[in-house]
Amino acid sequence: SYRLGISGIEVDVCFTSDRKAIIYHPRSTKPDLTHLTWPVIENSIFDIMSLDSFLDLVTTLDDLQFCIDLKQDLNSLVETAVKAVTDRGLQKRIYLTAFQCQVPGFSLESNVELLLHAKKINPTIKTHMIVVWPSNILKLAKKYRPDAISIGWLQDSFVSKLVFKLI
């Protein structure tokens, strides 16, 4: 992987309808796999990995770092991810990622609170916060204490469309 210039991989994690953690971005297929059960997905045309299978693979790729983006605002998803990462001793190589969107005048904070929950479960787990407005990055860093911060954008949000039109 280093020969290709790759040092890290980001994946999305969410639950199926029967609470199986899978590597998948909700609403990226039809049908949305979050509405299906794991046995149905396993026997379908979709080639989807469970979180457990993915982390087993990660243990063989010791030259890479990983971000696992929590795609559902559920403490139970955080608990599942933290346990799975911790059980495999991967907390030094995996960052749990959550999106934080603070728009002046609006209350659009997404699931960044999940990172605090992850740290309560395992203080050694690494966390990564994606922010929209870098002007408040110091305030956010102090509040959430992530191990890594990057700047991103809600591509399909009403606010982002409005701001891009104004620019």
How crowded is residue 54: how many other Cβ atoms within 10 Å of its Cβ? 19
Average pLDDT rounded to a whole number, residues 24-30: 94
pTM of the shown model: 0.84
Q: What angle do CA 136, 114, 82 make, to 5 degrees?
A: 130
CA distances from 11 to 25, 100, 105, 135 (A): 8, 17, 31, 27
Of 153, 88, 143, 150, the residue nearest 119 (C-alpha): 143
pLDDT in tens, 74-94: 999 999 999 999 999 999 999
pLDDT in tens, 136-166: 888 889 999 999 998 876 555 555 455 445 5
Q: Residue for token digits 């209350």?
A: 107
The reported pLDDT for the residue numbered 50 is: 98
Q: State how far the Cα of 83 lies from the Cα of 150, in Å rounded to an integer.
A: 25
Q: Which pair of tokens denotes residue 100?
A: 């934080």
For residue 43, give the 3-state DSSP assignment.
coil
Q: Which pair of tokens denotes residue 95?
A: 């960052």
Question: Which residue type, as a one-letter code, is found at position 145?
Answer: R
